[in-house]
Structure 1
Amino acid sequence: MSEFAATPATITPAPMTAVATRRALLRSEDWLGLAVVAVLVILVLGPMATVIVQAFIPGLFSGQVKAIGLSGLWEIFERPLWQRSLMNSLFLASLAGVLGGLLGTGLAIVRHSSRMILGPALDIAAWAIIILPSFILAQGWILFASRGGLANQWFGLTFVPDMVFNPWGLAVIMSLKAFPFAYITVSAAMRWDMDDYAHAARLCGASPLRVLATVRLPMLLPAVLSGAVLIFIDVLGDFGLPAALATTYRFPTLTYAIYVAINQSPIRFDLAGVLAFYVTVIMLAAVLVYFAILRNRRFDFLSGRARMRHAQGARFSLIPNGLAFLTLTVAIIIPIGSSVLVSLTDRISAGFAFENLTLANYAYVLNTGGAFVGALRTSMGIAAAAAMGSAILAAAAAYMLTFSDFRLNRLIDVTCTLSLAVPGVVLGIGYIFMWNSPLFDRLGISLYGSQSILVLAGIAGAVPIAIRVLLGAMAQVPASMLSAASLQGAGLTRRIITIALPLIAAALVSATLTAFGSAIFDLAINSILRPPRLDVLPVYVNRAFEQSQFGAATAATLVAGLATILIIVVINILSAAAIRRLVAPANRN
């Protein structure tokens, strides 16, 4: 027998196919990352891409392609209304950015430099103003400052309407709505005390004002610029103020012009796309300018001598508390107080009299089977679905950014950050272009004109805030815990459910409730994307206000606001108790 016959046959394994090889190389975290990217593309990047493409190829997503090129972009300068809208938006956003930045920065410096008794109230009010929809505050100012409002009819302040209803007055109102962005960012930057620099300047003969201008403010420049840019972006993309002003004062802005373009006859999606493109480009330019300024200077002034700042002075000091009280009055007490008073009166013109007080407005909106009850129920259902969806997506994205080296993590981070600067009006236009396109119609996917599209837009709008909340909580979870579980054979799903989620449960609840509260009163998304026969709360309130049913509008706002707060408080208490029970065995051991 030959040598070759005695040798057993060698079995050569079949080569793996390319698909099998790629699957073998992909870990479970990679599959989760790909799922997150796919969802973000559908919810954020896809709609934003359609807005940009529509500006250069008008009619692409409606099946009526016009001339390809830049001709549509120049049309804004040929139409007086659109040109005025652009100028008004730039004026309003720029002036509000300056005024709101100065106000927020000044209040933050005063707040953390003196032991003022109204300091905690100022902190709470800042967050409350950010959460409150701008159209509710704008309606409150209209009820107070219009010629038929409380200031003129009740208090005889005839100068107030002319003082408020002009471009400069509106910029002041918007700065009062947006100044908390600067207040919060500067407050966060003042946690650490480096008074050695200030003491050195004083020893060299510098006055307190010069120390503030040449030492303290330059140290705070990144926070000050951040607050000003956030205010600029918030005001430029605001839809609530122009929507509320439509019945009282003609002041068109870009966001309201977009709304008009898709609600006129014939509908001009091409013009809406061009206007949305300008809003997006201006916002991105503001962010790029901010980054360019920061890159050109160094701001790393902290040293080993830094310590936590402790405010000095008397708690009842007149000037700091007076500034805080004045700010609280004009920023929140006047607009919200005006809404409360109007909701309790029969006629504004009858003045503040006992016989003019009534609860009829509340009885009207709470009437069984009324439109308000249905609108509130619908909005709460949409908000609940959007809140849960955004919490799941944000938790998955935060997990990927914190615990994985997924190659597309940068894309996830940029997308979530970018969507924070995208106004609801622009996002809504993108959703119309995307989900109303002939492509999806041929595929049999019909979300436009359904309630589901409101849920998707609500998720996209809430994800940026939710992920910022969860990233801070994820950062506190030791990666070693997850690594140890993985070495013991625990899969990705089990690691997330048994380790990550219990440790970030409180933050997850907070993110979900925040998204729920903001989605209920989102006027821009609901005005643009709601189906024609679907009643939703923001549109109900705004329509009642446009029809001069001020008592009903304010009563509906207050009832919905109190119901929302009650739901959030109850869920927060129940979830806190559940979390304590969950971690109690570990604490006892």
Structure 2
Amino acid sequence: MAPDLQTRPAPEAADHPDRSTAIIRVGRAARPHWPWVLLTVVTTALVLVPVIPLQWQAWSDGADGMRRLVGMSDLQNVAVNTLTLGIGALVVGMVLGTVLALASYSMRPRLRKKLEFLPVLPMVVPSVAHVVGFVFLFSPENGYANTLLRATPFFDGASGPINVYTFEWIVVYTGTHLAAFVYLFVYTGLRNLGSDYALAARVNGAGPVRALFTITLPLLRPTLVYSSVVVFLLALGQFTGPLLLGRREGLDVVTTKMYTLSAEYPVDYQLASALGTPLLLLAIFLVIFQTRSLANQNRFVGQGASSLDNRQLTSTGSAVSACIVLAYTTIAAFLPLLAIAFVGLSPYWSGTPSFGAMTTEHFSAVLNDPQILQAVTTTLTVSLTGVAIVIPLGMLISLAIYNRDRMWRPVPAVLDLMANMPLTVPAALLGFGFLFAFSHPGIGLYGSQTSMIIAYVTIMLPYSVRYQLATIMSLGRPTLEASQVSGAHPLRTFFQVLLPLARAGIASSAAIVFVLLTHEFGVSLLLRGPTTKVLSVVLFDEYGGGTYAQVAVIALLMTVVTGLGVALAMAFGGRRALERL
């Protein structure tokens, strides 16, 4: 007799009943949360757009790019330079940033209130303008600082004594700039730590140095580990400094070598992608190391019970601490800006400022240049559009992460991972990933404003989420829950309760993101088109052409735009808004 096919269960269903049940259960669980699932899919796709093409090119055609990478003639020099820059800048940045944080914390309250924000100023100056300022100061032939040093009895000759184009000084410059990041982390950690534990050690006979090394620094271990990993990743992914300073001496790191390969025609996508793969793997390893090192943070809880700063701070120690902060800020922020201003007001860059020959003709030339005016328009357009997209997107992701106990479990976990991934990958690598993705014939976005906006949204996503999640957490649950208990729909609670209460934090976050986008150089350089250039790219082109007076004026223009963004951020978020940089 023929078997009854209609009554026989399907083989897969009969053999795997649990699988079918699990699929149905997952579908039912996800159904009420489909908007958040859609948000997760969009966020994941946005973040993986630059990462997947980068690795696809490196491992395609039988890993041809990786094989040729092993045989690259200057691979050893590039790898050594990259690691040396990372380690050297890490040491300089961590030591200098920690000293600055301890100095600010050791000032008397009135003086501290006036000076504590100064070490953050180097982060406010756009990166391209900051590098150019150091060139105007420490170029071996015409640098203003070198000219002044040669006028002293201690130095002579036609050049030097400092050559900012050498690898050693590139390391010093990078570490000095990154010290501002370390300062933010460590200074915030010191304020949260309180003074009770150090005072208890002093009462029991420990001197200030012993209390520092046995009490304060061990309790700051989570902050020090986190900041060291972040700074090391930033140092490994440095692009602006090595590109502008290292090209004269032919010094290459991974990011500048990738740029050289991408600038040649035809572009060797496979080799360029393979060159960035070790850096990507190292970044993942460092993030895992960071997570495991801080796994049990309860060992380092050190919040003092007293809310008052009852330390006995001497006037001498406070004055010395203030001098340290002022010296760093002068060298890292004020002098570069002053050098830029002198070059912009001088007929030409000679290394010796002449007050009688100052002119504003370069300002008139720049402000009447159609290319520069178009760059200003492009900068404002792509930056403001990026802010308009990434702030609402970051708010939705923040809400999902904040309400993880009410979400379908995979949603907040995936969103949290994807939203933080751009922080773990050096920005220059993301830029190359976007370059490879948008250059594909099927996409065709390379050189357009759309490509820059997508890239800007991706690299700013972690900042948007972090800032707005902090704003939501500061509001607390009771206010939002009271609205819902009173019968308000979640959407009504969002628009009539959450947004009004969080508007200052959202506005401050938007201003900070705008500042960071106007600084952006690496991604913008790689995605620029003939008619799509932002100010930082135009400055780079002018610098390469040797028109230093125009370079100085453009750098000042970028600084003014940044200053307006910072002023708005401080207007909405107060003085603490600078800590978000």
Same topology, TM > 0.5: yes
1:83-122 equivalences in 2 (<5 Å): 83-115=76-108, 119-120=112-113, 122=115
Task: Determine whether 1:313 maps to 2:307.
Answer: no
Indicate the residue corresponding to 2:333 in structure 1.
332
1:156 maps to a residue whose letter is: R
**How far apart, in 2, do the equivalents of 1:479 and 1:205 lie?**
44
Task: Determine whether 1:67 maps to 2:62.
Answer: yes
Indicate the residue corresponding to 2:5 in structure 1.
none
Residue 539 of structure 1 and its aligned partner are, at CA, apart by 0.8
Residue 140 of structure 1 and its aligned partner are, at CA, apart by 0.9
Residue 178 of structure 1 and its aligned partner are, at CA, apart by 0.5
Deviations 1:351-393 (A, max 9, x none): 22233311111111111x5211111111110100001111011
Larger mean CA deviation between 479-488 and 504-513 belongs to 479-488
**How far apart, in 1, do the equivalents of 2:214 and 2:486 lie?**
57
Contact 1:182 1:226 in 2 (8 A): no
**How far apart, in 2, do the equivalents of 1:324 and 1:568 lie?**
21
For the structure 1 residues 209 and 477, does the alpha-carbon distance in structure 2 shift closer, same or farther, using more than 3 Å as the test? closer
Contact 1:379 1:536 in 2 (8 A): yes
Q: Where in structure 1 are there 5+ consecutive unaligned residues?
A: 1-17, 58-65, 577-589
**How far apart, in 2, do the equivalents of 1:411 and 1:109 lie?**
38
For the structure 1 residues 230 and 549, does the alpha-carbon distance in structure 2 shift closer, same or farther, using more than 3 Å as the test? same
**How far apart, in 1, do the equivalents of 2:114 and 2:283 lie?**
32
Residue 98 of structure 1 and its aligned partner are, at CA, apart by 1.4
For the structure 1 residues 492 and 192, does the alpha-carbon distance in structure 2 shift closer, same or farther, using more than 3 Å as the test? closer
Indicate the residue corresponding to 1:421 in structure 2.
424
Residue 109 of structure 1 and its aligned partner are, at CA, apart by 1.6
Residue 525 of structure 1 and its aligned partner are, at CA, apart by 1.1
What secondary structure is seen at the aligned counterpart in 2 of 1:349? Answer: coil
Contact 1:82 1:254 in 2 (8 A): no
Task: Determine whether 1:42 maps to 2:36.
Answer: no
One of 496, 510, 513 as aligned partner of 2:511: 513
Contact 2:379 2:518 in 1 (8 A): yes
Residue 336 of structure 1 and its aligned partner are, at CA, apart by 1.8
For the structure 1 residues 350 and 465, does the alpha-carbon distance in structure 2 shift closer, same or farther, using more than 3 Å as the test? closer
Indicate the residue corresponding to 2:7 in structure 1.
none
What secondary structure is seen at the aligned counterpart in 1 of 2:263? Answer: coil
Larger mean CA deviation between 201-210 and 408-417 belongs to 201-210
Residue 273 of structure 1 and its aligned partner are, at CA, apart by 0.9
Contact 2:287 2:424 in 1 (8 A): no
Indicate the residue corresponding to 1:406 in structure 2.
408
1:336 maps to a residue whose letter is: L
Contact 1:149 1:348 in 2 (8 A): no
1:191 maps to a residue whose letter is: R
Contact 2:262 2:268 in 1 (8 A): yes
Contact 1:151 1:160 in 2 (8 A): no
One of 432, 451, 466 as aligned partner of 2:464: 466
2:237 maps to a residue whose letter is: G
Larger mean CA deviation between 487-496 and 97-106 belongs to 487-496
Contact 1:383 1:516 in 2 (8 A): yes
Contact 1:521 1:537 in 2 (8 A): no
Contact 2:78 2:253 in 1 (8 A): yes
1:178 maps to a residue whose letter is: L
One of 526, 549, 561 as aligned partner of 2:547: 549
Query: Structure 1 length as normaliser, TM-score?
Result: 0.84
Contact 2:222 2:297 in 1 (8 A): no
What secondary structure is seen at the aligned counterpart in 2 of 1:251? Answer: coil
1:283-294 equivalences in 2 (<5 Å): 283-294=283-294
Residue 552 of structure 1 and its aligned partner are, at CA, apart by 0.5
For the structure 1 residues 530 and 307, does the alpha-carbon distance in structure 2 shift closer, same or farther, using more than 3 Å as the test? same
Task: Determine whether 1:562 maps to 2:565.
Answer: no
What secondary structure is seen at the aligned counterpart in 2 of 1:79? Answer: coil
Task: Determine whether 1:141 maps to 2:142.
Answer: no
Indicate the residue corresponding to 1:150 in structure 2.
144
Q: Where in structure 2 are there 5+ consecutive unaligned residues?
A: 1-21, 574-581
Indicate the residue corresponding to 1:353 in structure 2.
354
What secondary structure is seen at the aligned counterpart in 2 of 1:227? Answer: helix
Residue 422 of structure 1 and its aligned partner are, at CA, apart by 2.4
For the structure 1 residues 546 and 125, does the alpha-carbon distance in structure 2 shift closer, same or farther, using more than 3 Å as the test? farther
For the structure 1 residues 122 and 418, does the alpha-carbon distance in structure 2 shift closer, same or farther, using more than 3 Å as the test? farther
Contact 2:218 2:300 in 1 (8 A): no
Indicate the residue corresponding to 1:166 in structure 2.
166
**How far apart, in 2, do the equivalents of 1:568 and 1:209 lie?**
37
For the structure 1 residues 312 and 111, does the alpha-carbon distance in structure 2 shift closer, same or farther, using more than 3 Å as the test? farther
Deviations 1:76-124 (A, max 9, x none): 3432334322211111111111121111112212221231766345532
**How far apart, in 2, do the equivalents of 1:182 and 1:192 lie?**
15
**How far apart, in 1, do the equivalents of 2:148 and 2:490 lie?**
64
For the structure 1 residues 356 and 283, does the alpha-carbon distance in structure 2 shift closer, same or farther, using more than 3 Å as the test? farther
Contact 1:114 1:312 in 2 (8 A): no
Contact 1:523 1:538 in 2 (8 A): yes
Larger mean CA deviation between 342-351 and 385-394 belongs to 342-351
Contact 1:259 1:425 in 2 (8 A): no
One of 413, 433, 443 as aligned partner of 1:430: 433
1:230 maps to a residue whose letter is: V
Residue 237 of structure 1 and its aligned partner are, at CA, apart by 1.4
Larger mean CA deviation between 42-51 and 206-215 belongs to 206-215
Deviations 1:387-409 (A, max 9, x none): 11110110110111112423220
1:88 maps to a residue whose letter is: N
Contact 1:112 1:310 in 2 (8 A): no
2:408 maps to a residue whose letter is: F
**How far apart, in 2, do the equivalents of 1:473 and 1:385 lie?**
22
Larger mean CA deviation between 280-289 and 560-569 belongs to 560-569
Indicate the residue corresponding to 1:182 in structure 2.
182
What secondary structure is seen at the aligned counterpart in 1 of 2:294? Answer: helix
Deviations 1:16-63 (A, max 9, x none): xx99998875566x2332232122223212321332333222xxxxxx
Count of matched residue positions in the alignment of Structure 1 and Structure 2? 541
Residue 464 of structure 1 and its aligned partner are, at CA, apart by 1.0
Indicate the residue corresponding to 2:526 in structure 1.
528
Indicate the residue corresponding to 2:389 in structure 1.
389
For the structure 1 residues 303 and 501, does the alpha-carbon distance in structure 2 shift closer, same or farther, using more than 3 Å as the test? closer
2:209 maps to a residue whose letter is: L
**How far apart, in 2, do the equivalents of 1:458 and 1:323 lie?**
36
1:435 maps to a residue whose letter is: F
For the structure 1 residues 551 and 353, does the alpha-carbon distance in structure 2 shift closer, same or farther, using more than 3 Å as the test? same
For the structure 1 residues 225 and 74, does the alpha-carbon distance in structure 2 shift closer, same or farther, using more than 3 Å as the test? farther
Indicate the residue corresponding to 1:586 in structure 2.
none
Query: Structure 2 length as normaliser, TM-score?
Result: 0.85
**How far apart, in 1, do the equivalents of 2:197 and 2:479 lie?**
43
**How far apart, in 2, do the equivalents of 1:162 and 1:255 lie?**
25
Deviations 1:429-475 (A, max 9, x none): 2223333445xx1xxx5323321010011111111111111011111
Contact 1:129 1:180 in 2 (8 A): yes
For the structure 1 residues 186 and 384, does the alpha-carbon distance in structure 2 shift closer, same or farther, using more than 3 Å as the test? same
**How far apart, in 2, do the equivalents of 1:303 and 1:490 lie?**
38
What secondary structure is seen at the aligned counterpart in 2 of 1:67? Answer: helix
1:476 maps to a residue whose letter is: S
Larger mean CA deviation between 83-92 and 428-437 belongs to 428-437
Contact 2:149 2:161 in 1 (8 A): no
For the structure 1 residues 80 and 121, does the alpha-carbon distance in structure 2 shift closer, same or farther, using more than 3 Å as the test? farther
Contact 1:387 1:516 in 2 (8 A): yes
Residue 285 of structure 1 and its aligned partner are, at CA, apart by 2.0
Larger mean CA deviation between 18-27 and 191-200 belongs to 18-27
**How far apart, in 2, do the equivalents of 1:133 and 1:310 lie?**
38
**How far apart, in 2, do the equivalents of 1:362 and 1:416 lie?**
41
